[in-house]
Chains A and B, each alone.
Chain A
């Protein structure tokens, strides 16, 4: 009975987190468009614009192209959304301070960083499947580009994630090296020497450059190039299928930026604010302060890793893009990993 109750609580919490993150992610997208407009000296759309877009898309007719493979064409958007929502159960959202204080990912213990890296591939893979089954040459080209891009950034991404876990395992604290809650509870910045800090900086740079390509944003948006292949993967999608891809992209944005925050900057400020105002914050007050701080952190990551770059750069050709990830960034990540190794000697 007790187990049943616990499972029910987890289920409820999971549903709550998913709905809350859907709202947060659309607000984040709204901020992105506001800031992009600000950088271009425009007024820009209202903050709620993504909500209007979704509400409108839900009203539109849903066209199934004649030459599409209907079951995979209709299934892919749904599975992409599900894939990115499942990601939320494993990625630390909000102020995760480790197992000690009790705030941690909902399914902590059931999956680790390796699973997260795999789950991150699910929405992209579903987009590729949707593109291939559209029966449109533009969508097929887009899907091929998406797969090329995935193959390119997976190597540096895995190197970054694994070397962080490996360095944590060398600390001899009895921590689970690949558990995200443990990684967030023990930020590596304070634990390594100068070489290690340089190595961590390199890994952070690589990770931050992977964010825009994981989310297919300019200049890494070759799979969705609007002006070139007419929306690419999404070329044949309309109505609520398009809305589901839109939502899946938004949710993945929150999941990936908060993964970046959890791996490289998992600090809270409730302690500092408590010192500042004289009374230490605890319980829900501390949680609220850290939650707001978490949102500011992911917005900052998104602003610098995506918004600024997408406003200031033009689209890269797919072969150059692939080369960028396979050669310079892979080398940089390996050098960073070697630095972390030298630091332990």
Chain B
């Protein structure tokens, strides 16, 4: 698959709340406000995974959400990237070792798709600047994908 440059300039994001505490979700909304305005980079929040290029996942994955998140990931048309917002996605954060947690999300998604592009944005909660930075990292990952095709 050869990607064109337009991918960098128009990333549509679908927000998946996988049992998050809502801290990161508030910060994502903050990133869309006029103060940070991620739309100036062409980033847009969409209402369905079918339109999305990036899955913005917040929270650890609990048992209730595990199957749903897997299905949302599979419903997203490729090429796609996953942006893990907050510590929970990478390490389960404060929910570490809890009886109801299925993930950390990255291990969980690697089981579904070994080649998944995952970008980690740490923070509890993440800052809007960090989310923007994470998108830049996602661009780099997609550039790698572009390089492989040549």
Q: Which residues of A contact B (CB under 8 A)?
A: 33, 37, 40-46, 49, 51-56, 59-63, 138, 225-227, 229-231, 234-239, 242
Contacts and interface: CB of A to CB of B under 8 A. Distances in A.
Task: Pick the most buried of B47, B75, B79: most chain A CB atoms within 10 A of its CB.
Answer: B47
A52 B51 CA distance: 15
Contact of A55 (B6, B37, B50, B79): B6
Given A45-B42, A53-B42, A60-B78, A238 B51 contact: yes
A49 B53 contact: no
Nearest to A33: B39
B149 to A, nearest CB: 11
B47 A227 contact: yes
A230 B7 contact: no
A225 B48 CA distance: 11
A230 B47 contact: yes
B42 A52 contact: yes
Task: Pick the most buried of B34, B50, B75: most chain A CB atoms within 10 A of its CB.
Answer: B50
A235 B46 CA distance: 10
Contact of A59 (B4, B37, B39, B50): B4
A236 B77 CA distance: 11
Given A59-B3, A235-B50, A238-B50, A49 B77 contact: no
Given A55-B4, A238-B77, A231 B47 contact: yes
Contacts of A230: 47-48
A65 to B, nearest CB: 9
B111 interface: no
Interface in B33-75: 34, 37, 39-42, 46-48, 50-51, 53, 75
Contact of A60 (B9, B34, B39, B77): B77
A306 to B, nearest CB: 18
B10 A231 contact: no
Interface of B: 1, 3-4, 6-7, 9-10, 34, 37, 39-42, 46-48, 50-51, 53, 75, 77-79
Contact of B39 (A42, A55, A62): A42
Contact of B53 (A33, A56, A236): A56
A49 B10 contact: yes
A53 B3 contact: no
B79 A59 contact: yes
Given A40-B34, A42-B37, A53-B10, A60 B47 contact: no
Contacts of B48: 138, 226, 230-231, 234-236
B6 A56 contact: yes
Contacts of A235: 47-48, 50
Contacts of A49: 9-10, 42
A43 B36 CA distance: 9
Contacts of A239: 77
Contact of B47 (A43, A44, A63, A226): A226
Contacts, number: 89
A237 B46 CA distance: 12
A52 to B, nearest CB: 4
Contacts of A53: 6, 10, 42
B10 A43 contact: no
B40 A42 contact: yes
Contacts of B1: 59
A44 B39 CA distance: 6
B113 to A, nearest CB: 13
A237 B78 CA distance: 13
A44 B77 contact: no
B31 to A, nearest CB: 12
B46 A226 contact: yes
Given A60-B53, A230-B47, A238-B51, A44 B6 contact: no
A44 B79 contact: no
Given A44-B39, A235-B48, A238-B50, A61 B34 contact: no
Contacts of A55: 4, 6, 10
A33 B78 CA distance: 26
Contacts of B51: 231, 234, 237-238, 242
A231 B12 CA distance: 13
A237 B39 contact: no
B45 to A, nearest CB: 8
Nearest to A226: B47
A296 B50 CA distance: 35
A229 B7 CA distance: 26
- The 3 residue pairs across chains A and B that have the minimum distance between CB atoms: A226-B47, A55-B6, A61-B77
A56 B12 CA distance: 10
A239 B78 CA distance: 9
